[in-house]
């Protein structure tokens, strides 16, 4: 009850919620890094994140926080690897009647967008699949918002996101590592836990995990660090323009590429110089592949 009292006293104009969704998780979800990454980016950009006095559950796919404005939300999104979307909060509730009631009460948050902006509505669901027919019903349930702009599915000025959070009463629940689609399909007794409604402000940087994917890298070795982890390390190291980063266990350079991508000057060393330069390719080739060779100072092997 105390948590509900806190939520009821919040200034809704300063609320956003973060989506960590992995519908088809091709990569480790790194739930334990969600809060450390958030805190690191908070320090890096002096965002002043307000955790609202709410209990944080890193295993749930959505998290509500307070930010001063959309500009700070975009700064967060410009670095966060584990965040899929950042959304301006309009309403959240355990049921649709309650969600619509709260959304109507918060009309001041979305009324201006309803006047003339092009828009689209996206329906997301965590741990279950929503049929096209059901999506249509959910979108039509928002008709009271009376958006009068033109629908634009490709490049809308406004993207409304309606997100359902489900869980299996038969387990596994959310306090377990992210699960694969095969496990989702085998789940039974699926129940609706929570519904979230808001305006998408920006996306996170999850696409960088694909960009730095080892399968696409020119030069790798047996101990090359997974792309997502190297990006997280750079974030938690508060790496940015003007930073100088030395990796004393460089190997094939994963940490160097991530740090250089964020604007740091980097150099590496290793007790054995051979992993840094192969017979045909080297760290310098991968640095050129990512367009960060100008930030790579040098690599030194200690024999």
Q: What is the pLDDT of residues 150-177, one digit of tens each?
A: 999 999 999 999 999 988 776 555 444 4
Residue 2 has pLDDT above 60, yes or no: no
Mean pLDDT of the chain: 85
- CB-CB contact of 22 with 29 (8 Å): yes
Phi, psi of 62 (to 5 degrees): -130, 145
Phi, psi of 111 (to 5 degrees): -60, -40
Residue 44 has pLDDT above 80, yes or no: yes
Give burial (CB, 10 Å; 0-12/13-18/19+) of 125: buried
Under the banding of pLDDT at 50, 70 and 90, the label for residue 188 is low
Residue 205 has pLDDT above 70, yes or no: yes
CB hemisphere CA count around 26 (13 angstroms)? 6
Q: Which of 191, 119, 133, 117 is nearest to 161 (CA)?
A: 119
DSSP 176-191: S----HHHHHH--SEE
Phi, psi of 133 (to 5 degrees): -65, -45
Q: Which of 65, 69, 68, 71 is nearest to 39 (CA)?
A: 65
Cβ atoms within 10 Å of 65's Cβ, excluding its own: 22
- Radius of gyration of the chain from its Cα atoms, rounded to whole angstroms: 22
Under the banding of pLDDT at 50, 70 and 90, the label for residue 144 is very high
Question: What is the value of pTM for the model shown?
Answer: 0.85
In this prediction, residue 293 carries a pLDDT of 96
Cα–Cα distance, 244 to 42 (Å, whole number): 20
Question: What's the Cα-to-Cα distance from 61 to each of 35, 118, 127, rounded to whole Å?
Answer: 13, 28, 10
Q: What percent of the chain lies above the pLDDT cut of 70?
A: 84
Residue 74 has pLDDT above 70, yes or no: yes
| 3 state SS of 42 | helix
Q: Which of 12, 4, 6 is nearest to 197 (CA)?
A: 12
DSSP 231-266: HHHHHHTT--TT-EEEETT-TT-HHHHHHHHTT-EE
Domains and CATH numbers, the chain: 12-204 (3.30.2130.30), 207-301 (3.40.50.150)
Tens digits of residue pLDDT in 222-239: 889 999 999 999 999 999
């Amino acid at each position: 009850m105390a948590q509900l009292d806190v939520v009821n006293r919040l200034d809704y104009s300063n609320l956003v919620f973060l989506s960590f969704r992995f519908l088809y998780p091709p990569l480790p979800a790194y739930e334990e890094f969600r809060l450390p990454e958030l805190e690191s980016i908070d320090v890096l950009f002096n965002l002043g994140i307000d955790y609202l006095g709410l209990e944080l559950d890193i295993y749930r796919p959505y998290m509500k926080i307070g930010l001063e404005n959309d500009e700070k939300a975009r700064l967060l999104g410009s670095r966060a690897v584990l965040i899929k979307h950042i959304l301006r909060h309009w309403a959240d509730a355990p049921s649709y009647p309650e969600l619509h009631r709260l959304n109507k009460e918060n009309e001041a948050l979305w009324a201006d967008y309803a006047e003339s902006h092009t828009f689209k509505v996206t329906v997301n669901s965590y741990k279950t699949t929503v049929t096209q027919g059901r999506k249509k019903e959910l979108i039509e349930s928002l008709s009271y918002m009376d958006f009068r702009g033109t629908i634009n599915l490709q490049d809308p000025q406004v993207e409304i996101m309606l997100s359902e959070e489900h869980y299996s009463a038969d387990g596994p629940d959310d306090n377990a590592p992210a699960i694969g689609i095969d496990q989702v399909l085998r789940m039974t007794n699926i129940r609706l836990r929570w519904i979230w409604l808001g305006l998408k402000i920006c996306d996170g940087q999850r696409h960088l995990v694909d960009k730095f994917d080892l399968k696409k890298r020119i030069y790798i070795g047996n101990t090359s660090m997974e792309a997502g982890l190297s990006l997280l390390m750079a974030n938690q190291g508060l790496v940015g323009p003007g930073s100088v980063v030395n990796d004393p266990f460089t190997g094939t350079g994963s940490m160097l590429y991530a740090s250089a991508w964020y604007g740091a000057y980097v150099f590496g060393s290793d007790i054995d110089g051979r992993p840094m330069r192969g017979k045909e390719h080297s760290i310098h080739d991968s640095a050129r592949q990512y367009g960060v060779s100008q930030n790579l100072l040098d690599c030194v092997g200690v024999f």
